[in-house]
């Protein structure tokens, strides 16, 4: 028993004197590890008589528990001390003025935040989905049956697939997010779906990767008047001025009836003024959700109707902030970002102005 007391006193002194978690763990291994001192002492129980085992067994177990408890208590004290030291060294005076940030917010991100603010005020929530899609979500569920000529109009990036497996695609629009939402959620639904989209196209106003925001409303009693009202309120809030609009009949496989919305504008030198002049510019497509799309998602078109719309974020950024070439948005030129970028500390809101 005197050996047990000596071992306990030895490790108690070592534990008390250490101020380092690594050293404390070394003590734990030396005392309680598989090849530690107490383990070796317990191996000697096999050579003892039954009466000796009855005394030494509980004593060794008690020693093991006592040392483990001392180590755990010391560990907690050291961790708390380290946390206190970190908090003391990392304090920040929140009353100090904040310097100007080194970077800027990209115009695309700024516009997406502006759009989210506007539609959130109308009761929309933000939904997201994967950039890589299957044929069902990107085409079939949106009323593009196999062989439909509109599939070729999208200039799709098809991905290589192992033999016997279906090819995946880089989504050509964010409409698959609408499909996933209708499948997974019950009406009423009111969402916008911002994100990256991909098509084989590149010129002054098109890039292989671009950004879209699409909207979807599904409920009972929804009609075209609701769609027009939402979009008219949106463009006036986004361009921060009264904007005249017109809706022209169009065709999209996933909506019926379908329309394109134009805004009135005029060109003043190199700049474009939205809401003025006599010319019209198309900025988005929209329509009532086709019954076939509702059925593909398990929604009864006899009970529910809805509308959908989609618009290019990059193009809206160009129109609002006067950027002449879409490709510059993705060139990574710090001079361009310094000129067109936004202060990240100034959050878009409807109270003080979006931009």
Q: What is the pLDDT of residue 156?
A: 80
pTM: 0.67
Average pLDDT, the chain: 86
Is residue 226's pLDDT more than 60?
yes
Regarding predicted confidence, which is higher, 91 or 170? 170
Torsion sign across C-alpha atoms 167, 255, 317, 349: negative
Q: What is the pLDDT of residue 61?
A: 81
Band (203; pLDDT cuts 50, 70, 90): low
| Residues sharing a CB contact under 8 Å with residue 211, sequence separation 6 or more, in sequence order | 108, 112, 194, 195, 196, 197, 312, 313, 314
Distance CA 226, CA 247 (A): 13
Classify 301 as helix, strand or coil: coil
Is residue 173's pLDDT more than 80?
yes
Average pLDDT in the 32-61 region?
A: 77
Q: What is the pLDDT of residue 99?
A: 65
Distance CA 330, CA 308 (A): 28
Dihedral over alpha carbons 317, 319, 316, 228 (to 10 degrees): 150
Regarding predicted confidence, which is higher, 182 or 18? 182
Q: Quick one: which of 257, 303, 265, 258 has its CA closest to 284?
A: 258
Q: What is the pLDDT of residue 353?
A: 65
Name the least confident of 113-127, 137-151, 225-239, 302-316.
137-151
Distance CA 286, CA 148 (A): 20
Regarding predicted confidence, which is higher, 53 or 109? 109
Is residue 125's pLDDT more than 70?
yes
Regarding predicted confidence, which is higher, 139 or 347? 139
Q: Quick one: which of 241, 268, 274 has its CA closest to 354?
A: 241
Q: What is the pLDDT of residue 4?
A: 78
Pick the most confident of 20-29, 60-69, 248-257, 272-281. 248-257
Average pLDDT in the 290-299 region?
A: 94
Classify 88 as helix, strand or coil: helix
Is residue 123's pLDDT more than 90?
yes
Is residue 233's pLDDT more than 90?
yes
């Amino acid at each position: 028993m005197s050996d047990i007391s000596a071992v306990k006193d030895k490790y108690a002194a070592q534990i008390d004197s250490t101020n380092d978690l690594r050293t404390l763990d070394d003590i734990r291994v030396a005392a309680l590890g598989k090849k530690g001192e107490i383990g070796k002492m317990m191996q000697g129980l096999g050579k003892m008589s039954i009466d000796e085992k009855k005394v030494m067994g509980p004593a060794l177990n008690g020693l093991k528990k006592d040392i483990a408890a001392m180590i755990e208590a010391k560990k907690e004290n050291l961790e708390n001390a380290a946390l206190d030291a970190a908090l003391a060294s990392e304090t920040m005076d929140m009353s100090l003025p904040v310097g100007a940030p080194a970077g800027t917010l990209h115009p695309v991100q700024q516009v997406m935040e502006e759009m989210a603010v506007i539609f959130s005020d109308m009761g929309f929530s933000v939904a997201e989905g994967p950039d890589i899609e299957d044929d069902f979500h990107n085409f079939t569920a949106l009323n593009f049956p196999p062989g439909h000529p509109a599939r070729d109009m999208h200039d799709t990036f098809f991905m290589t697939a192992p033999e016997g497996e279906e090819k995946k695609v880089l989504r050509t629009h964010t409409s698959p997010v609408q499909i996933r939402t209708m499948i997974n959620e019950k009406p009423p639904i009111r969402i916008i779906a911002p994100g990256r989209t991909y098509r084989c196209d590149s010129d002054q106003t098109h890039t292989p990767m671009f950004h879209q925001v699409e909207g979807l409303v599904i409920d009972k009693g929804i009609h075209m008047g609701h769609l027009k009202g939402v979009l008219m309120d949106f463009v006036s809030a986004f361009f921060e001025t009264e904007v005249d609009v017109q809706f022209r009949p169009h065709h999209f496989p996933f909506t019926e009836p379908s329309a394109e919305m134009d805004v009135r504008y005029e060109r003043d030198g190199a700049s474009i003024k939205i809401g003025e002049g006599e010319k019209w510019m198309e900025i988005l497509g929209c329509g009532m959700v086709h019954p076939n799309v509702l059925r593909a998602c398990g929604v009864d078109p006899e009970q529910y109707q809805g509308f959908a719309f989609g618009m290019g974020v990059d193009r809206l950024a160009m129109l609002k902030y006067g950027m002449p070439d879409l490709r510059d948005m993705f060139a990574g030129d710090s001079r361009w970002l310094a000129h067109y970028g936004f202060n990240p500390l100034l959050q878009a809101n409807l109270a003080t102005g979006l931009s």
